[in-house]
Amino acid sequence: MKTGQYLLLLFALTAWVSAQDQPEITSHQAPATFSSNVNLVSVPVVVRDSKGHAVGNLHQEDFRLFDKGKQQVIAKFSVNQSSAPAAAAGPAAGTRAKENTDIALSPPAAPKPALPDRYVAYVFDDIHLRFEDLARVRAAAEQHFVESLAPTSRAAIYTTSGRVTLDFTDDRQKLHEALLRIEPNPSAAPPIGETCPDIIGAYQADLIVNKGDPIASRDAAVQLLECLPGAAITQGTVIQFSEKALAVNNMNTQPSLNILAAVVQRISVMPGSRSIVLVSPGFLAFSEHRAQETQLMERAIHSNVVISSLDARGLYTPFGGDAASSRDTGLSGRSPQALKVRYRRAEADADKDVMAELADGTGGKFFENDNGLKEGLDQLAAPPEYTYVLGFSPQNLKFDGSYHGLKVTLANSKGLELQARRGYWAPNHAADAAEQAKEEIREAVFSLEEVRDIPVDVTTEFFKTGDAMAELTVESRLDLTGVKFRTAGDRNDDTLTVVTGLFDQDGHYVRGIQRVIDLRLRQQTLEKVLGTGMDVKETFDIAPGRYVVRVVVRDSEGQAMAARNGTVDIR
């Protein structure tokens, strides 16, 4: 035998021996942390009939989806209903307790507390709210929390100034106290005593500085007659006051968008239905804010967060008629005061645009021009009864961060109104399979939907190690008969990712363990595993309390999933 043939045979023999010695089951665990970055674009769509009721009987073939005018293939289609799934079983009381969270196998002896399934973050725009509007909104919110907060709902309160923050809770007293702390807090305002304060508004200033509108510029020169002598008013003066108005607007708009983005990130890790209600008189978002606004909607859509808006001004009449002025009229033939009223009316209408865009773009609603603020909060806190989610992978997508306009239509839209996302920003790089798998697991963990591709029985057992600590064991038995193994020689291969997560009674993510199990099973072992199942056990050291247990299982190909809920009450 030649030397080369000998070496080749030796190499093959070594590889065979190595394969024979390879363990059939190996696993490792790590803290369960998640991030999001995939290329599938999700488009939430709400379809309503002529009476405003959500329609839920449409199918994938009823929709047409266009990206930059080009029709796309809808690769993923789902219909989300606002009704929550039934709660799973809870634990027995005692120092040591054990339970099976599968209701069908082990029904509870007594009713168990329902799992939280609805999370609503109320964002009060204290930067733009006037005192009189805030007083009416506060009274409406008080009544809303008392009468309309369901036992399985959790509410949080945030303000755009960042001065009031209350995380998710069902404690009405804490909600009441948080509401009382809210007061107007503009980020920027003209200093007291400043010459010509509030003469040129941000809307008019945008026309002058960014759009080069000569009429708005001439009108501004007339308006400045309210506080400056005519000889002092030049085009440079108009630009100076206009730029100052834009700077003030930006200092008020920017933190509002920042807080909304932070709230989207916060609520995205809550297990269940997620909504944000923006309570605001509206504000102006100009071209420099549009990219941030679109990215905000992108995050919300990807995290299944619906943003709704309530116009805190109610039935709003911004100003009276064109009031006359004793001062001289300008080139337009109107008094300075009449011109100011005209532009402030236009600004009041434009203030609503961003609230309508956030609602339309994420599947929410915009409640406006109505004094029934409490009824408005009730409507907005409830998700649409039906929301369609269309998913597509853009054809020939360039990873250049560019903006893509979207359009969704119906094959037969007679008598129906459609509300859908308006666009998205292309990513700067492609997501790989590992990122997509991690995102699929993340979405399953932070959801209450139960998936049973892989049957899983979950039992919990705890032992109190002291008054302040307990050891909780979560054991999951996996039925792998539905998993498709890959054949490699005499082995049957697959990799399972099992995430065991804990949430507190208000739905806050407490801790999670991710275990990756590599299966390289010989046929005899596979048959045994298929007959008996496989056990995965995780242990947590936690403080006493009531917890939601969430177990998610995914195979390496993403063809089989499991997601189970349960509760454990450690007293």
DSSP string over 497-536: EEEEEEEETT--EEEEEEEEEEEEEEHHHHHHHHHH-EEE
CB atoms within 10 A of CB 334: 19
pLDDT recorded at residue 318: 59
pLDDT of residue 496: 92
> How far is Cα 54 from Cα 418, in angstroms, rounded to an integer?
10
Eight-state DSSP code of residue 93: P
Q: CA nearest 407: which of 386, 432, 424, 393?
A: 424
Whole-structure pTM value: 0.69
Q: Are 476 and 460 in contact (CB under 8 A)?
A: no
Closest CA to 200 of 167, 237, 150: 237
Q: Are 297 and 361 in contact (CB under 8 A)?
A: yes
For residue 110, give the H/E element and its range: none
pLDDT of residue 399: 76
Residue 555, number of CB atoms within 10 A of its CB:
22
Q: Which residues, in sequence order, are bridge partners of residue 366?
A: 309
Residue ranges for the chain with pLDDT beneath 70 = 1-21, 30-39, 82-115, 188-194, 317-334, 428-433, 448, 558
Which domains are seen in the chain, by residue range?
23-36+434-570 (2.60.40.10), 40-82+384-430 (2.60.40), 118-381 (3.40.50.410)
Q: Which residue has the tokens 């309570």?
A: 279
The pLDDT assigned to 328 comes to 40
Closest CA to 509 of 475, 476, 468, 552: 552
Q: What letter represents residue 219's amino acid?
A: D
Q: Do 457 and 106 touch, CB atoms closer than 8 A? A: no
Report the alpha-carbon distance of residue 166 to residue 508 in Å, rounded: 13
CA pair distance 302, 323, nearest whole angstrom: 49
CA 311/CA 313 separation, integer angstroms: 5
Residue with structure tokens 């834009």? 246
Q: Enumerate residues 6+ apart whose C-beta is below 8 A from 140.
A: 373, 374, 376, 377
pLDDT value for 416: 92
| C-alpha 15: how far from chain center | 50
Query: 472, 485, 486, 499: which is closest to 554 by C-alpha?
Result: 499
Name residue, tokens 């909104």: 137
Q: Name, in order, each residue with C-beta under 8 angstroms of 156's C-beta and a sequence gap of 6 or more.
A: 119, 120, 121, 122, 166, 167, 168, 169, 263, 266, 267
Q: Tell me the residue type at 197.
A: P
Question: Does an H or E element contain 438, and which?
Answer: helix 433-445
pLDDT at 7: 41
What is the C-alpha R_g of the chain? 30
d(CA 417, CA 253): 31
User: Are the C-beta atoms of 225 and 257 separated by less than 8 Å?
Assistant: no
For residue 428, give the nearest of 66, 42, 39 by alpha carbon: 39
- Cα(159)–Cα(182) distance, rounded to whole angstroms? 8
